[in-house]
Amino acid sequence: MKVWLVVLGVVLVVAGLAWPLIERFGLGRLPGDIRIEREGFSFYFPLATCLIVSLVASVIIWLLRR
């Protein structure tokens, strides 16, 4: 169990460092992402991006478990 937490932490760090590269492919600015910008306030929730990343991760995990 502890090993999975370490792996998850490493994956999150790598994804965070690779985010500028990931943005070049359009992730983070998809039509389903919620962005509200007002004077002095900014809110961003990447709903569509989260769904796509979750789907890709699920497929990869499913393939690795086969």
DSSP 45-60: E-HHHHHHHHHHHHHH
How do the domains of the chain map onto residue ranges? 2-65
Distance CA 51, CA 27 (A): 11
Distance CA 63, CA 57 (A): 10
pLDDT tens for each residue of the chain, 66 residues long: 678 788 888 888 988 888 788 778 777 788 888 999 999 999 988 898 889 888 988 998 888 888
Give pLDDT, residue 1: 66
Give pLDDT, residue 7: 83
Give pLDDT, residue 36: 92
